[in-house]
Amino acid sequence: MRYELAYLSLPPPQIFVGDSYLTIHNKEWVQSSDQWMVIYYHHANVITNNTHVYTVQPGDIAFFSPGTKGSHSRIGTDLAFDFFRFSLPADLGPKGAIPHVARGMGHLEPDIRRAAVRVIDTSVYAMAFVWNLMCVVSQTTAVFRGFEILHEAEDYIRRNLSRRIAIPKMAEDLNTSPRHLLRAFRAEYGITIQEFILRQRMQEAARMLLTTDYSVKEVAARIGYSDLHHFNKAVRQSTGLPPREYRRLGKLRQNPNGATEN
């Protein structure tokens, strides 16, 4: 089981609660760089969390951290789920290791239902429930087996996508050495830190192009590109399409009978 680092000293300041039903065989998405997604599954399916694959059963809960590329696929004909989307405001204080999947959580289904119903009047119950859930399932950072710095670096990168990220400065801010950071990223992902930063920027660019109305220039600025030509080139290399075409075709696939943006 893999884990993600979370700062748990403060509850979510706001939350979105919903339920859904997978009508297609497979759905992929990219988490916002500042939001978690927690999903309670009513049916068995296969999920991915970045490069890690898990089979989940009814009553399992999946945790997708900010910036994660996730997916779920039906096993059989049904896939219903409830979800919570929220941010954690703290960047200091107590830290926990959140598992990608918490098994056998079916006893929480009544609480999840109550959170969904009560959010119509107040979101306080839902925020308290999901914060308590994360505290309950969290493990000590010892599970990272010496690579806690890797997860701190990932969090640092996600919070600074709009800025130039210099490896020596990041290492200094995280109280470690550039060499140790390079080793950690190479051991976990098989790529350099620079390649990981580019991957995160392209995932966030893809998400914003498909789910926001930001102009291409605004999207570029939000992930640290001041030069639009370099941004267009990076998106083309990542997706095979320039940003505007990626947005147009992506929205067409999402809504084949609706209007699309030119």
What per-residue confidence (pLDDT) applies to 254?
58
For the chain, strand residue ranges (E) read 3-7, 15-21, 26-30, 36-41, 45-49, 52-56, 61-64, 69-74, 80-86, 95-99, 101-102
Find out whether 72 and 24 touch, Cβ atoms under 8 Å: no
Q: Is 233 helix (H, G, I), strand (E, B) or coil?
A: helix
What per-residue confidence (pLDDT) applies to 92?
76
What per-residue confidence (pLDDT) applies to 253?
67
Confidence of residue 145 (pLDDT cuts 50, 70, 90): low
Could you give the dihedral angle defined by the CA atoms of residues 245, 249, 251 and 254, in that order, rounded to the nearest 10 degrees?
A: -160
* pLDDT digit string, tens, across residues 11-49: 999 999 999 988 778 888 888 878 899 999 999 999 999
Spatial distance between the Cα atoms of 171 and 32, rounded to a whole number of angstroms: 24
What is the per-residue DSSP string for 56-67? E-TT-EEEE-TT
Q: Residue 255: is its pLDDT beyond 60?
A: no
Q: Residue 176: is its pLDDT beyond 60?
A: yes
The answer to pTM > 0.85 is no
Confidence of residue 159 (pLDDT cuts 50, 70, 90): confident
Spatial distance between the Cα atoms of 185 and 21, rounded to a whole number of angstroms: 36
| Token pair belonging to 3 | 């884990």
Domains contained in the chain, CATH given:
3-142 (2.60.120.280), 148-254 (1.10.10.60)
What per-residue confidence (pLDDT) applies to 45?
93
Sign of CA dihedral 239, 245, 251, 254: negative
Task: Determine the average pLDDT of the residues in 221-235.
Answer: 94
| Token pair belonging to 154 | 């990932």
Q: Residue 148: is its pLDDT beyond 90?
A: no
Q: Residue 197: is its pLDDT beyond 80?
A: yes
Q: Residue 68: is its pLDDT beyond 80?
A: yes
Write down how long the chain is. Answer: 262
Tell me the one-letter amino acid at 236.
R
Spatial distance between the Cα atoms of 221 and 129, rounded to a whole number of angstroms: 35
Q: Residue 232: is its pLDDT beyond 70?
A: yes
Q: Residue 9: is its pLDDT beyond 50?
A: yes
Q: How far is CA 208 from CA 197, 236, 243, in A?
A: 17, 15, 10
